[in-house]
């Protein structure tokens, strides 16, 4: 019986996960800009604990396709509800906001849109193309759902030529059925494999795992091996935090030292860049991987919070 996935009140955060809320002008400008362009961010919708810091640095992860998800993953704070129709001008609004923020590296993600025949893939394509047209030279990273492993949907996203294709494995094989709604461990690996094979030599693939759900160290290493087996280049490892009492409980707060150890092992496995630490999220400090993208050599940097 898997008792570690039962919901219960959220435990007190350890010292290394506590944050101080900023009151900088940059934070206010970012919030105002997102409101002006009527854009959603995963920072807010998924209750990311780092969004105060990221917005203060003038960065944000844009979430396209609305803020209503068709899946009900037990770790995620994004609302599960019937989605609204896609907004035709959203790609241009994202492009203009990116330009106003003077971003050098942009991350574009989306809710799962299983209500659409292509899962929202063409909306991804149009957004990437709009961002590139208005922001020459920008590094574009997409963080996509699995599109139910539809080849045509994956092809549409790759057609836009993002620099980084990110799809999160989220957790280890054993816990996947209880953590991720409709998604499967092997399907996610297959999406990453196809993206690597079909994306061309300049595309880097990326994935991430949440830790603290009851996984064992051997299972984490096995998941990292599976990701390297499908050619995954970039890896993020971060602490899972329970958004509400109705979500999965935190089983363990993984220590910074353990994150450091996982990160060192991942680099030994050949990942081009690794971000491993309690505060790490899939797109947190995503731009830090830029030097590794150009050199395609293992990164020597490591930080428990970057």
User: What tens digit of pLDDT does each residue of 110-141 get?
Assistant: 999 999 999 999 999 999 999 999 999 999 99
Token reading at 300: 């020597």
Inter-CA distances, 14 with 18, 111, 127, 252, Å: 7, 30, 39, 11
pLDDT at residue 79, as a whole number: 81
pLDDT at residue 15, as a whole number: 81
Pairing label, strands 61-64, 40-41? antiparallel
Mean pLDDT of 22-43: 64
Contact status, residue 192 vs residue 207, Cβ threshold 8 Å: yes
Encode pLDDT of 77-95 as tens digits.
Answer: 778 899 999 999 999 999 9
pTM: 0.83
Q: Is 197's pLDDT higher than 90?
A: yes
Closest CA to 140 of 165, 123, 119: 165
pLDDT at residue 55, as a whole number: 44
What domains can you pick out in the chain, each with its CATH number? Answer: 19-295 (3.20.20.70)
């Amino acid at each position: 019986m898997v008792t570690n996935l039962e919901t219960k009140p959220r435990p007190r955060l350890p010292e290394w996960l506590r944050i101080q809320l900023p009151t900088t002008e940059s934070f206010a400008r970012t919030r105002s800009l997102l409101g002006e362009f009527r854009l959603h961010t995963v920072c807010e919708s998924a209750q990311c604990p780092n969004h105060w810091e990221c917005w203060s640095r003038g960065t944000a992860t844009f979430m396209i396709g609305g803020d209503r998800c068709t899946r009900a993953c037990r770790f995620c704070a994004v609302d599960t509800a019937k989605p609204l129709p896609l907004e035709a001008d959203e790609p241009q609004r994202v492009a203009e906001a990116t330009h106003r923020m003077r971003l050098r590296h942009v991350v574009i993600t989306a809710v799962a849109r299983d209500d659409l025949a292509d899962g929202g893939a063409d909306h991804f394509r149009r957004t990437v193309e709009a961002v590139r047209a208005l922001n020459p030279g920008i590094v574009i990273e997409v963080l996509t759902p699995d599109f139910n492993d539809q080849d045509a949907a994956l092809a549409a996203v790759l057609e836009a030529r993002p620099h980084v294709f990110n799809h999160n494995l989220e957790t280890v094989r054993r816990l996947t059925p209880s953590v991720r709604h409709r998604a499967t461990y092997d399907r996610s690996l297959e999406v990453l494999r196809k993206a690597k094979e079909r994306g061309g030599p300049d595309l880097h693939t990326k994935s991430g795992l949440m830790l603290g759900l009851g996984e064992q160290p051997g299972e984490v290493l096995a998941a990292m091996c599976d990701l390297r087996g499908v050619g995954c280049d970039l890896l993020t490892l971060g602490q899972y935090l329970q958004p509400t009492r109705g979500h999965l409980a935190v089983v363990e707060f993984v220590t910074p030292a353990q994150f450091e150890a996982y990160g060192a092992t991942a680099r030994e496995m050949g990942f081009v860049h690794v971000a491993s630490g309690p505060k790490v999220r899939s797109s947190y400090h995503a731009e830090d991987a830029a030097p590794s993208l150009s050199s395609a050599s293992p990164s020597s940097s490591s930080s428990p919070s970057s």
